[in-house]
């Protein structure tokens, strides 16, 4: 199956049958209308294009409205994403994909944009231990020596150094679906998923 586009609502906890508390992320997933079906013959690859949410009519471009109308969708979606198709997957234009495609216990991959944390040092960015903190060490959080000596007399590419942290596309594999709420289009996924509240994520089996 392809997948779903969703919006991260936030985190909470639920109790399983044994009475143990399980931390979960609540994601409002779907319904996602099928906007376009791509095939190897016409596009060079097989994929399905899904939409999520709805734009205000005055904010949607004429191209977005026309693309949605061609699939039989009345309102231009806010988010459009593509999912690769597997053999045997069949979809129709305008078909609405809902959380019914997931079941409790499914392993899913959740992809989103991680929280941006700005410019950070090596202690926070990579978990460096830092220098001795006693007696007011003047440089307790610096990375230390970064050059590898006379040969090759330069800093090797990929060296862990301070820089921008977060704000990148991140995928979380093998996340477990703990609960599915069909009435409210909610997925309860064990643990945390990338992104802040109200950010958009892609969920695939």
pLDDT band for 1, please (50, 70, 90 cuts).
low
DSSP 3-state of 63: helix
Separation between Cα atoms, residue 157 and residue 159, nearest integer Å: 6
Q: What is the pLDDT of residue 126?
A: 96
* Distance separating the N- and C-terminal Cα atoms of the chain: 7
Separation between Cα atoms, residue 42 and residue 85, nearest integer Å: 14
Query: Residues 167, 113: contact at Cβ < 8 Å?
Result: yes
- Taking residues 30-58, what's their average pLDDT? 91
Residue 145 CB contacts under 8 Å (≥ 6 apart), including other chains: none
Separation between Cα atoms, residue 84 and residue 143, nearest integer Å: 42
Give bridge partners of residue 97 from the DSSP assignment: 32
Query: Residues 115, 167: contact at Cβ < 8 Å?
Result: yes
- Taking residues 87-113, what's their average pLDDT? 90
Which domains are seen in the chain, by residue range?
4-120+172-204 (2.40.30.10), 121-144+154-165 (no CATH)
Q: Per the structure block, which two tokens stand in for 19?
A: 């009475």
pLDDT band for 135, please (50, 70, 90 cuts).
confident
The pTM for the full model equals: 0.83
């Amino acid at each position: 199956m392809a997948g779903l586009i969703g919006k991260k609502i936030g985190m909470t906890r639920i109790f399983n049958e044994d009475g143990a508390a399980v931390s979960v992320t609540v994601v409002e997933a779907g319904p996602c209308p099928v906007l376009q079906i791509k095939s190897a013959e016409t596009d060079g690859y097989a994929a399905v294009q899904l939409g999520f949410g709805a734009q205000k009519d005055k904010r949607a471009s004429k191209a977005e409205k026309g693309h949605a109308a061609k699939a039989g969708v009345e309102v231009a979606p806010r988010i459009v994403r593509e999912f690769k198709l597997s053999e045997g997957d069949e979809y129709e234009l305008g078909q609405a994909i809902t959380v019914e495609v997931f079941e409790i216990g499914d392993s899913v991959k959740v992809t989103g944009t991680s929280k941006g944390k700005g410019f950070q040092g090596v202690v926070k960015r990579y978990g460096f231990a830092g220098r001795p903190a006693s007696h007011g060490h003047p440089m307790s959080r610096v990375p230390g020596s970064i050059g590898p000596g006379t040969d090759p007399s330069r800093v090797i590419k990929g060296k862990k150094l301070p820089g921008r942290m977060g704000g990148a596309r991140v995928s979380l594999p093998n996340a477990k679906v703990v609960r599915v709420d069909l009435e409210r289009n909610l997925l309860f996924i064990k643990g945390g998923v990338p992104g802040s509240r109200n950010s958009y994520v892609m969920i695939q089996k």
